[in-house]
Structure 1
Amino acid sequence: MSSKFRNPFKLRASEKIESEVGFLRLFSPHVLEALQEKHQKGELWENVLLIHSSPGGGKTSLLRAFEPASLITLLNTKSSSEYKDLFNALKKIEVISSNQVKLLGISLQCTRNYQVLEDLDVSEAQKKRLFFSLINSRVILATLRSACKLKGKRYPDDLKDFKFQYNNEDNFFKSLQVPCNGEELNNWASGIERQIYRLVDSFLPIDDLVIEGHDELISILTLNPKSLTLDGNPICSRMVFMFDDAHKLSFAQRASLKQYIFEKRGNHNIWISERLEALKPEENLGSFKERDFQVLNLENFWRNYPAKLSKILQNISDKRAAISTEEVTSFQEYLTENLNEENIKEKLTRILEETEKSLMQTSKYTNRFDDWVRYTKEYDGSLLDKALLMKEVEILINRNMGKPQLSLDFPLAVNELHEKMNSDVVNAAKLFMSINYELPYYYSFKTLVKLASFNIEQFLSFSAEMFEEMISKKIRGDEIVLSDSKQNSIIKRVADVKWKKIDTEVPYAENIQKFLKSFGAFSKQQTYKANAPYAPGVSGFSIKPNKERMFGEELWMTDKIYEPLIEVISTCVAYNLLEKQTVNQGKKGQVWDVYYLNRWLCVIFGLPLSYGGFRHKSPDELIKWIK
């Protein structure tokens, strides 16, 4: 099967990429830096790791890199320049060495109809025993399949070659004589799985069916490198049990699985990946306290290391463009990074005329800004530079007009103007100019990185449409480079599609869209004030206590009055519509949880893509945004 695709940017979920070669070609080694940091701190192995993200954060792709098929492919091609960086990254965390795969990665998908057990007419205790039995059977079967793959054996034909060395001192195996060989272990586990299938499909009472129920996750307790051997030798140095998509389990199943694992812990390696939507509202809104486990929130990790994320996304885009069948072998170089000034010459002229008229009007009432206005008129630069300068001066004049004057009405010197100019004022001027006069604003590869909001799939959703346009231009025989205006229109179109999808893909959609529209309108009103007080703009809020009730965070979150607000904010965080960040502001040591709009929502409301600007709002004020 070919490992090339027409538009590789449209490949999202790793499970849709069938071949290991195709998967590894698209997998960026820089993604592993999140695990390397855990490894350096001694927190990666002999531990429980919860891997959290919103949809598209890269959880499944990360786990797939640790499966035997991926690791064997890497070992066999370790000298290839295409895979060398990935091989070395895995070597650093002791997964692979120059001559062997040291880790047996055992992946269990939690999407395989576990929830049907909740529909059985049995007690909660019986449901839990059946759930644990099904987990045990599937973990054992997955382990045996992975062991065969790792050792180049055929499953199930060669299972007799493996030995399960366990003395059953805890009497976990009631209907299996242990020690035993791999085939016997496989038959035992398959039998339990079949029994549970028959129970689910049967009309008979459960008492009429004999099923071996389990109170323990015996699979995890008994499977380890010493207990599973081949030719008398351990099959690996280390095992990791990877539970993928745990959010697909029922609430009770997730709770019992995690509680058991947290309590038992031991020296097992257990990774559980789940979406933020599965967490309780207080976990999404409050602080996650790590105790007997580690948490890796993928979006939060990249938020702390934005430069690394930019490098990863560049690497991903290069890898994807390289395997296109349409021979558009690059991505970033075909994205214009600057405004085309010739195409907007008329609009720039209008900006200059209208802004100059506004400045002259101000000069009628005071001579304080005469030198500033004269400086802008005499400034020798391009139309774009002059228009931008005038907008900056207009903002600074509006700021000064709002301040009480303690001196006589003497003209302010030009050097005072330069002292007040900074990057925030420049960025606010660019925003005002672009949005008010419909100039391209959202374009360039840097903009795509910001639009990702630290989510790889979100980056691909915008990049795929950009790459599709590149392919179309190549087929037509046009220059492949995408102009600033074309990028701007594509980004706005993709953002509009995402907004419409909220209706069908997000719970509480009606209230959430009301809330986001109100939040967007508020942010726009704050951002576009003439004096740009929160330059370059506002796109976040923090929650302050209600004055009359003096509620702290913990108190208002337990008040039923605010349940609709809690549902909306926690769901927005879970689905990556709001990005939660901690910000130091105010008194020394004072920390605020700030909820920023996902960057694609900034496109919807015509806001800048930078972070920083936020306003304090009380629960009473916020709940009005839903009504």
Structure 2
Amino acid sequence: MAYRANPFLERMSERTTSDQDFVHLFSPKILEKLHEDCFKGAVHIFRSPPGGGKSTILRAFTPNSLRAFWNAGPNQAETYKLLIDRGVLGEEDGPILLGVMLSCSSGYADLPPGASNASAELFRALLNCRIVMRTLRSLSEFLNNGLPDALDDVQLRYASDASGLRSIPLHDTAAAMMKWAEESERSVYEHLDILSSSRTQNPPPAHARLESVLWLQSVQFSYKGRDVASARLLMIDDVQALRKAQRALLIDELVTLRPSIPVWLASRTIAFGDEFLSQGARSGRDVREYALEELWGSGGNSRQFVSFAQSILDRRFQMQTVVPGQAFGQYLQENFPLNELNDAYIEARSLFDAFAARHKRNVRYSEWLANAAVGPPTPSLDAIISLYVTRILIARDEATKQLSLELAPLPAEELQERDSAATKGAAEIFLNFEQRFPYYYGLDRLCTLATNNVEELLSLAAALYEGMKAKQVLRQRASRELLPQEQEKRLQDAAASKRDFITRTHKDGTKAQRLLDSIGLFCRERTFQPNAPYAPGVTGVRLSNSELSKLERVQDQAKIGKLKKVLFECVAENLLVTRESAASTNREGGTVFYLNRTLCAHFSLPLQYGGWQETTIQRLSDWMDGGYQPAAKLSLGGR
């Protein structure tokens, strides 16, 4: 790979990346998550927000990439073995599967809008000729030369089910089929020229169905007398670029055809909609859907994504030469110097003493306060957290409304019993809030901040890598690692940039930004209360099913309709992450809208899931239009 100033800024799915570089950067962890059913005949839909890895997965199964994996062999042993086990590669013969990939990002939007017969005919005609054309070009690559004249030696035969094809001829040579496909594409654009002029309109090309899929599954290729590429995979990327009517037509006709080969469709997430599913299609049988961000588990179960992310980061890190080493994480310091811990402990003790002064006459907390008064032999992060935990538990006990006649002190053992991981999590973010002591640092939290999204991971890693480079250039050998406070500064700067960029990337960017800011400020206000009632903190808002149903009502469409679009776009762009919330004895079910984890860093919120607050459509609409005004300046008290 040529030297790059920052290897984390390049998208792996881009064609500018060579196949050899692609193979080196590709993490096999994603292949482990692909279900075996993905290679069976059906329509398979891969969804994710932008940067979720859809195009990367598809590119991995194109002929040039598969051959590069095969050539790499032992150097990419894990990926190599997985591809062989899936029947995609052969140990002796190289690629077995013919992967045919085309994108919907260009050309199809040029077609006339609407549901007219002419529009549908042109759409089918363009898809049919492009699938045939892309298949033959992929076959040329499959044969390991990629030269156009390779097709001169390819003969075509057809299974009996091809006899029903009407729109696609059954030529017996690949060269003749390529000529037909190229002429058909020209014919489509000539017809478009006629439609855009005042000339007499000729009838559109006669394509009554997507016969190219039937052609692909029935054609048999023979190269120099040897049958090749008997297994096929059709991959259609960027389906979100199609018009809604085109998307519906594509899915409906593919499902109706019931293909015997796997057909993969990749699209950005479309929030709260089943428009991908045609009438009568059965999800799980006719259509199989895979949300990439959910492959790694949901909520706090992020260990699988951490392993995947670490593999991606290390592979890119090994492609640069400025910072020595093999692992990205080795430059992310997670320990604190003794002097920093000592300063933080002194400040935490000062804050605790001011808090304790208000309770020194209360016998109920005497043992707890006495226990906290015994300082550690050596300052440590655990000792600092313990002071904050005691403050939280006293504030929580004090806030209870139940009156107690018990005058005896609470035993020190009960302090430990009331402690929990959630309370410790709240104590840690409180420490960050009061002292600016680093919270957003280390490999695990970097991966969490990425919100299960590869592009976000690389963007954050790019910011950290710039810091690593700077230390190398300045030859700071005494501290070549990025210290926790340096990591936090760079990560929060990246988070602020992500927030600022919203206005430029969304159709209603100003309203989306205002809504997200409001949710963030609201969550901060609920998180930083002295008793940490929603430990470790609030990072999302919940809409009940009754509230969600209001989004579909006709009245107040101008206002509610705008909120619906903004909400849906935020979910589709991974700025809000939805989680279903089950019904209980005292509340109905609903959906929680959690802030993107990088945005949590911008608002200085914890990174755990689980903490949310109920809200309403009306309140969100008001926030979107006018913003959220906090009730008072945040303070944990104690001084």
Match of 2:129 among 130, 137, 150: 137
**Alpha-carbon distance in structure 2 between the residues aligned to 1:283 and 1:376:** 59
Partner of 2:213: helix, strand, or coil?
helix
More off after superposition, 301-310 vs 495-504:
301-310
**Alpha-carbon distance in structure 1 between the residues aligned to 2:199 and 2:243:** 21
**Alpha-carbon distance in structure 2 between the residues aligned to 1:33 and 1:205:** 56
Instruction: Answer whether contact 2:171 2:177 (CA < 8 A) is retained.
Output: no
More off after superposition, 445-454 vs 577-586:
577-586
Residue number in structure 2 paired with 1:354: 351
Residue number in structure 2 paired with 1:606: 604
Match of 2:55 among 44, 54, 60: 60
Residue number in structure 2 paired with 1:595: 593
Deviations 1:434-463 (A, max 9, x none): 112211111111110110100011011010
Match of 2:65 among 56, 62, 70: 70
**Alpha-carbon distance in structure 1 between the residues aligned to 2:470 and 2:450:** 24
Give unpaired runs (5+ residues) of structure 1: 546-550
Q: Which amino acid aligns with 2:250?
A: L
**Alpha-carbon distance in structure 2 between the residues aligned to 1:118 and 1:149:** 34
1:297/1:222 CA distance change after superposition, 3 Å? same
Instruction: Answer whether contact 2:217 2:260 (CA < 8 A) is retained.
Output: no
Residue number in structure 2 paired with 1:548: none
Residue number in structure 2 paired with 1:383: 379
Partner of 2:295: helix, strand, or coil?
helix
**Alpha-carbon distance in structure 1 between the residues aligned to 2:587 and 2:88:** 40
Residue number in structure 1 paired with 2:33: 34
Q: Which amino acid aligns with 1:214?
A: H
Match of 2:340 among 338, 343, 346: 343
Q: Report the alpha carbon displacement of residue 298 of structure 1 after superposing the two structures with TM.
A: 0.5
- 1:299 paired to 2:293: yes
Instruction: Answer whether contact 1:281 1:567 (CA < 8 A) is retained.
Output: no
Residue number in structure 1 paired with 2:17: 18
Q: Which amino acid aligns with 2:373?
A: K
1:425/1:341 CA distance change after superposition, 3 Å? farther
Residue number in structure 2 paired with 1:394: 391
TM-score normalized by structure 1?
A: 0.91
- 1:199 paired to 2:195: no
Q: Report the alpha carbon displacement of residue 15 of structure 1 after superposing the two structures with TM.
A: 1.3
Q: Which amino acid aligns with 1:25?
A: H
More off after superposition, 494-503 vs 263-272:
263-272
Partner of 2:444: helix, strand, or coil?
helix
Residue number in structure 2 paired with 1:112: 106
**Alpha-carbon distance in structure 2 between the residues aligned to 1:449 and 1:224:** 41
Residue number in structure 1 paired with 2:267: 274
Deviations 1:137-194 (A, max 9, x none): 11111100111111235542122222232376325147x4x34211111001100111
Q: Report the alpha carbon displacement of residue 266 of structure 1 after superposing the two structures with TM.
A: 2.8
Equivalent pairs, count: 606
**Alpha-carbon distance in structure 1 between the residues aligned to 2:399 and 2:84:** 61
Partner of 1:274: helix, strand, or coil?
strand
Instruction: Answer whether contact 2:99 2:232 (CA < 8 A) is retained.
Output: yes
Match of 1:440 among 432, 438, 441: 438
Q: Report the alpha carbon displacement of residue 230 of structure 1 after superposing the two structures with TM.
A: 2.6
Give unpaired runs (5+ residues) of structure 2: 277-281, 626-639
Partner of 2:364: helix, strand, or coil?
coil
Instruction: Answer whether contact 2:392 2:531 (CA < 8 A) is retained.
Output: yes
Residue number in structure 2 paired with 1:504: 504
Residue number in structure 1 paired with 2:239: 246
Q: Which amino acid aligns with 2:214?
A: L
- RMSD value over aligned CA atoms? 2.5
- 1:466 paired to 2:464: yes
Match of 2:181 among 186, 189, 193: 189
Partner of 1:593: helix, strand, or coil?
strand
Q: Report the alpha carbon displacement of residue 283 of structure 1 after superposing the two structures with TM.
A: 6.9
Match of 1:84 among 77, 80, 95: 77
Instruction: Answer whether contact 1:462 1:494 (CA < 8 A) is retained.
Output: yes
Q: Which amino acid aligns with 1:402?
A: A
1:102/1:473 CA distance change after superposition, 3 Å? same
- 1:257 paired to 2:250: yes
Match of 1:449 among 447, 463, 473: 447
**Alpha-carbon distance in structure 2 between the residues aligned to 1:196 and 1:84:** 45
Instruction: Answer whether contact 1:6 1:325 (CA < 8 A) is retained.
Output: no
**Alpha-carbon distance in structure 1 between the residues aligned to 2:415 and 2:242:** 61
Instruction: Answer whether contact 1:435 1:441 (CA < 8 A) is retained.
Output: no
Deviations 1:391-421 (A, max 9, x none): 1111111111122233332111111111111
Residue number in structure 2 paired with 1:406: 404
1:522/1:276 CA distance change after superposition, 3 Å? same
Partner of 1:224: helix, strand, or coil?
helix
**Alpha-carbon distance in structure 2 between the residues aligned to 1:108 and 1:437:** 53
More off after superposition, 149-158 vs 316-325:
149-158
Instruction: Answer whether contact 2:578 2:593 (CA < 8 A) is retained.
Output: yes
Match of 1:579 among 577, 580, 591: 577
- 1:308 paired to 2:304: yes
Residue number in structure 1 paired with 2:541: 541
Matches within 5 A, 1:459-538: 459-479=457-477, 480-538=480-538
Residue number in structure 1 paired with 2:631: none
Q: Which amino acid aligns with 1:360?
A: A
Q: Report the alpha carbon displacement of residue 335 of structure 1 after superposing the two structures with TM.
A: 0.2
Instruction: Answer whether contact 1:17 1:23 (CA < 8 A) is retained.
Output: no
Instruction: Answer whether contact 1:75 1:99 (CA < 8 A) is retained.
Output: no
**Alpha-carbon distance in structure 2 between the residues aligned to 1:589 and 1:625:** 24
**Alpha-carbon distance in structure 1 between the residues aligned to 2:343 and 2:523:** 30
Instruction: Answer whether contact 1:582 1:594 (CA < 8 A) is retained.
Output: yes
Q: Report the alpha carbon displacement of residue 232 of structure 1 after superposing the two structures with TM.
A: 4.7
**Alpha-carbon distance in structure 1 between the residues aligned to 2:165 and 2:248:** 26
Q: Report the alpha carbon displacement of residue 5 of structure 1 after superposing the two structures with TM.
A: 2.8
More off after superposition, 600-609 vs 122-131:
122-131
Instruction: Answer whether contact 2:331 2:481 (CA < 8 A) is retained.
Output: yes
1:394/1:208 CA distance change after superposition, 3 Å? closer
